[in-house]
Amino acid sequence: MKKKRSWIKISVAAVSSVLLVATGIIGFNLWQLNQALRSSAIEVTDIQGEPYEPPTFAEIEGAQNILVIGSDDREGQGSSYGESDRVLADVIILVHVAESRENAVAISFPRDLLVPAPDCVPEGTFLPYGDLVQINHTLDYGGPNCVLQAVQQVTGLEIPHLGVIDFRGVIMMSRALGGVEVCVAEPINDPYTKTYLDAGLHTLEGTEALQFLRTRYGVGDGSDLSRISNQQVFLTSMIRKIKDEGILTNPVRLYSLASAAAENMQLSQALTDLDTMVAMARTLNDVDLGNISFVSLPVVVLEDEFFGRVGIDQEKSDELFSLISSGTPFVVSSGELVVKTEQSAPTEDSEVSSNRSSADEIQGVTADESICSN
């Protein structure tokens, strides 16, 4: 009996040691992850130019505004993307999650959008459009916070959170997710980005995912507005995969995704805190797929000296951002803003009984739409 008890003690001690070591490894990995995130943190400022304070618990529980920037920075990215002496914003997307968690919307800003020059543009900078700047150039003029300032100025919204991802980051994040399935409506043949896809379903991972997001000449009329449609399709599928596979509530998968983000993204200071990052990620998980919309900022095509550029459709944009700032639940359905009422509820065909706004023809999709449906 004494010998048996000795073996039990040894076994308990061994198991305890393994658990202790495992806990230490996990703790060290989380510490390393925190350090990696904080080493490249970006300071962001509000509309008045004051730094944002770390969010309180109440603020994390409230409405969330996050700006996502895709940088075309080619430094250290290899020679396959061409050469450029400027760093521009390839992708600019504002993500808003309502406090009620009844809806979320991701708004794409065209690269060619002309906006009033924010204060972060250095004095003496030559501006070919007078007091206006092309919004994607603000990244080159003043870094990520300058893009944030331009978007805050246009929308009137406070945006305390920011993430910047480059070419390599897109490749690594898509791999961390195990690829993203998208449906290509028409064949894409784009020699510029080497994107060649037949019509139909494709699981895109790594370089293929980046090529799909960057292609413009192989889609629609070859404009940046056409490229935005690809980005929205990809993001819609990515959100669906993240929610369907429960990644945001799975500690192992979430850690893998956070690690990929730490190695390949720059985040605003608040998002470099793991607890804040996880809490905010789970807020998106609370939103029903049918209430997540991906839309393009309403714009008008400009002419004459502004040929090839677009401007803000002020009336439609004001209505969109008014709904966001007021916390009014809405989705985008058949090109219209759909304001949800207390009585409204999705039906079997995903139509919503609600008040439709006058801001029609807003381009976008919802995350529960099958992009391959006829």
Distance CA 166, CA 210 (A): 10
Distance CA 271, CA 165 (A): 14
pLDDT for 132: 94
Residue given tokens 């359905």 in the structure block: 333
pLDDT for 41: 86
Q: Could you give the domains of the chain?
A: 40-366 (3.40.630.190)
Residue whose C-alpha is closest to residue 106's, from 149, 142, 151 = 151
pLDDT for 330: 79
pLDDT for 84: 57
What is the chain's alpha carbon radius of gyration, rounded to the nearest angstrom? 23
What DSSP string describes 174-210? HHHTT-EEEEESS-EEETTTTEEE-SEEEEE-THHHH
Q: State the CB neighbour count (10 A cutoff) for residue 237.
A: 19
pLDDT for 109: 95
pLDDT for 342: 56
Q: In the numeric block, which tokens belong to residue 300?
A: 């008008």
pLDDT for 146: 96
* HSE value, Cβ hemisphere, 13 Å, CA-based, for 287: 32
Provide the strand spans (E) within 139-185. Answer: 161-165, 180-184
Query: How does pLDDT run along the chain (374 residues), one tens digit per residue?
Result: 555 556 555 555 555 444 444 333 334 355 566 666 677 789 999 999 999 988 888 888 899 999 999 988 756 545 454 555 678 998 999 999 999 888 889 999 999 999 999 999 998 888 889 899 999 999 999 999 999 999 999 999 999 999 998 888 888 889 988 999 988 888 888 888 888 889 889 999 999 999 888 887 767 666 666 778 888 888 888 888 888 888 877 877 877 777 787 788 888 988 888 778 778 877 778 888 888 888 889 999 998 888 889 999 999 999 999 989 888 887 777 667 778 765 444 433 333 323 333 333 455 555 555 446 54
User: Helices 314-326 and 144-155 meet at what angle, rounded to 10?
Assistant: 100
Distance CA 205, CA 140 (A): 28
pLDDT for 355: 36
Q: State the CB neighbour count (10 A cutoff) for residue 270.
A: 20
Cα–Cα distances in angstroms (integers) from residue 338 to residues 98, 221, 228, 348, in the given order: 15, 28, 22, 17
End-to-end CA distance of the chain, in Å?
Answer: 73
What DSSP string describes 96-127? EE-TTSS-EEEEE--TTBEEEPPTTSPTT---
Distance CA 168, CA 174 (A): 10
Distance CA 330, CA 314 (A): 19
